[in-house]
Amino acid sequence: MSIQKLSSVLATTYENFPKGRFITLVVLRTTHSETIFRTEGSGEPMCSEFVQAGLEGENQKTIIQRLVMTKRKQIAPERRYGREHLRAHELLYTNSKDGSLCSLNTNSPCEMCVDCFLYGFAAGGGGAQKSRIWTEDAFSILPASDVVGDRTINAIYENGTMRDEKSNASTALNTSEYIKPGVHFLDVVTLKDVTADELRYVVGNILFTSRYGAVSSRVGRMENQILGVFGSITELPSSLELVQATYDVLGKPLEHPLNSNQLITASQQAIANWRNRRGVSVHLSEAELVNLIADVETHWSEAERDSFLKRLSQSYESFRQVAAEKKKTKSKGKNTPVEVES
Partner 1 sequence: MSTIPFQQAKLIELYCLEPVFFASRELSDTYYTEGVIGNYALTYALGLVNSPYRLQGQATGRPTYKEDLQPIARDFYILPASPLDKIAFRFERFNALSDAYWYSMTNNRVATAREDLPLQRQGKKPNSFRPSNFPQTGKLRMIERGNRFQTLVFGNSQLPDYIRLGKFMSKVKVNILNESSVNLLPEGEYQSQHYLNATDLPQQLETLAFDLISIPPAPIIKNLRFRGCAWQIDETIIPADLHFCGRGSSNE
Instruction: Point out which residues bind Zn ion (CB under 5 A).
Output: 102, 110, 113, 116
Mark 279-305 as b/e (b = at least 16 C-beta within 10 Å).
ebebbbeeebbebbbebbeebbeeeeb
For partner 1, the closer of residues 118 and 266 by Cβ is: 118
> How far does CA 13 lie from the centroid of its chain?
23
Site string for partner 1, 161-200 (x = CB under 8 A): --------------------------------x-------
Q: Between the CA of residue 238 and those of 10, 152, 308, what are the distances in Å?
A: 21, 36, 32
Residue placing its CB nearer to Zn ion in the complex, 113 or 206 = 113
For the chain, the straight-line distance linking the first and the last C-alpha, in angstroms and rounded, comes to: 39
Residue 241, binding choice from Zn ion, partner 1, none, Cβ under 5 to 8 Å by partner class: partner 1
**What is d(CA 197, CA 107) in angstroms, rounded to the nearest whole number?**
27
Based on the shown chain and the rule CB under 8 A, indicate whether residue 76 belongs to the binding site for partner 1: yes
CA distance 275 to 282: 7
Nearest to 309 by CA among 342, 337, 341: 337
Please give the DSSP secondary-structure letter assigned to residue 101.
B
- Name the one range near partner 1 by CB under 8 A: 10-18, 158-166, 248-256, 262-270: 10-18
Residue 278 touches which of Zn ion, partner 1, none (Cβ within 5-8 Å per kind): partner 1
103: contact with partner 1 by CB under 8 A: yes
Give how many residues touch partner 1 by CB under 8 A: 54
How far apart (Å, rounded) are the C-alpha atoms in residues 119 and 126? 17
Nearer to partner 1, 130 or 163 (CB): 130
Stretch in the footprint of partner 1 (CB under 8 A) among 105-113, 194-202, 219-227, 255-263: 105-113
Report the SS3 class of residue 251.
Answer: coil
Q: Site residues for partner 1, window 305-334 (CB under 8 A)? A: 319, 323, 326-327
Buried b / exposed e along 150-167 (16+ C-beta atoms within 10 A): eeeeeeeeeeeeeeeeee
Of 1, 104, 153, 172, which lies in the binding site for partner 1, with binding defined by CB under 8 A? 104
Residue 110 site contact among partner 1, Zn ion, none (CB < 5 to 8 Å, cut-off depends on kind)? Zn ion
Please report, as residue ranges, which positions from 240 to 269 form the binding site for partner 1 (by CB under 8 A).
Answer: 240-241
The residue among 39 and 285 lying less far from partner 1, judged by its C-beta, is 39
Cα-Cα-Cα-Cα dihedral of 236, 260, 28, 65, to 10°? 80
- The CB-of-263 to partner 1 minimum distance in angstroms stands at 22
125 binds partner 1 (CB under 8 A): yes
The listed partner (partner 1, Zn ion, none) that binds 9, CB under 5 to 8 Å by sort, is none
Rounded Cα distance, 265 and 227, in Å: 10
Distance in Å, CB of 94 to Zn ion, minimum: 9
Which residue from 132, 200, 211, 299 is in contact with partner 1, where contact means CB under 8 A? 132
Name the 3-class secondary structure at 264: helix
Interaction partner, residue 236 (partner 1, Zn ion, none; CB < 5-8 Å by kind)? partner 1
